[in-house]
Every structure is written in structure tokens, then in C-alpha cells.
Amino acid sequence: MRLIGSPPPPSRSDALLGPASTLFWMPTVADSGLEIYPLSLERYERMVDAGILGPNDRVELLRGVLAAVTPQGITHAGVIEELTHLLVSDLPRDMRVRVQLPLRLPESGSEPEPDLAVVEAGPRTTHHPQSAQLVIEVADCSQSRDLNVKAAIYAESGIQEYWVIAVRDRAVTVHREPSPAGYAERTVVHSGALQATDPRIPSVDLDDLLPHLGDG
């Protein structure tokens, strides 16, 4: 994760991208010896509403920490596009697919923006959804974070089902039975039709989806 802090010495990327590229740089906590000052969910949302954090600031709040969102490769984006098409085509009217939009998870002080989330339909006038029937992350270089940090956050928040689609491994890790201690069930699937526990969600044929996976 990257946190707010003082920037490193100027680099070639600074010359290309400008000073804003270093806004969320900080050494790892282990290296810096500094204590983290957690950012509350409410303060984070006020920063977004005030324009302090905008669309070009690719971050999400994970356990009170501003974490940089990994840029998407061609394969990553292609899998999201294919999954969106598959889910939206057959999803009932009382459900919605949210693509890289926030989930508000106060139990863990987090507001992640998963690649896909299937949620109940409803007005969004006061806050982002605080639950989902299915959350999906497409993982390439973010695989460790998705399988560990985010899996713990989603389980603690009661997300009933969480899939991590590993680009390099051509596999899906399915997490079910959440609790504050984590997911009790974790299964790796390589082929066949994958059906979510909520029967309203259409099944995903991995034999059709996984051939889309390349090297990232």
C-alpha cells in the first residue's frame, strides 16, 4: 500500500507525469518506522465530496489507508468487459452490476472499488452500497492484495461470496462462508460452469472466460 507522505527525490516519472504523481508516495511502514494515522471512512468521503480526491487520484480506502489502485492491463480490462456482458445480460431487474464503483464497508473502515460487484437494486442518494451478493476482483500484479488484504476485509464485512480471477494462473479462487475471522471455504476452480450461491446470479462458463486470459 502507498500512504500520504513526503515524496522521494525527483525521478524521470515526475518529469513525465508532474508533481501530482508523487501525492500518495510513502516508504513502507516497516522501512519508515512511522506510525500510521488512519483515515476514517467519513473523512475519506468528505475529501471525495470536496474534490480533494478526484477521478485522477487512483486510490481506494483499505482499513483506513489510502492504497494505490493498480493500472489495468489489456487482459485485465478485457476480462472485466466480458464478465460485465455475461452478468448484465441475464441478471434480474432487482439486481445491479457495479463496475469499479465503491462499496462502503464501515466494519473495516474501508471503501474498496472492486472490479465487479453484484448488488441489490435501490436508490443511491445517501451512500454507496454496504453489501453485495458477489464481489469479483481480476488479479494480475494485485493478486497478493486481493487474496489476503481484500479477502479479509470482505469476509469481515459479510460479503457472502468473493471471486479472485487470477490472470497468470488462469484460475478462479472462490471464497464463501464469511466471518470476522475470514472465509471458511476457499476453493480454486479451473474449468466448468461457476455458479454463485445466490441463484439469481447467472453462472459463468470458465471454459469460455479463461481462454481470454493472457499474461496481464
- Confidence grade of residue 29 (pLDDT, cut at 50, 70, 90): low
Please name the residues in contact with 24: beta carbons below 8 A apart, sequence gap of 6 or more.
2, 3, 4, 57, 59, 66, 68
Percent residues over pLDDT 90 in the chain: 63
Which grid coordinates belong to 210?
479463461
Q: Residue range 69-92: average pLDDT?
A: 90
pLDDT digits (tens, 9 = 90+) for 99-126: 999 999 999 999 999 999 999 998 877 8
Residue 128, SS3 per DSSP: coil
pLDDT band at 11 (very low <50, low <70, confident <90, very high): very low
Pairing type for strands 134-139 and 161-166 reads parallel
Q: Residues of CATH 3.90.1570.10 domain(s) within the chain? A: 74-212
Q: Which of 100, 113, 147 is closest to 44 using CA atoms?
A: 113
Residue tagged 485522477 (cell numbers):
56
What pLDDT score does 184 carry?
98
Query: Is 74-212 CATH 1.10.10.10?
Result: no
Confidence band, pLDDT 50/70/90 cuts, at residue 30: low
pTM: 0.81
Burial group, residue 68, by CB count within 10 angstroms (0-12, 13-18, 19+): middle
Query: Which residue is it, cell 501525492?
Result: 23
Residues paired with 138 in a beta bridge: 165
CA separation for the pair 155, 200 (Å, rounded): 21
SS3 44: helix
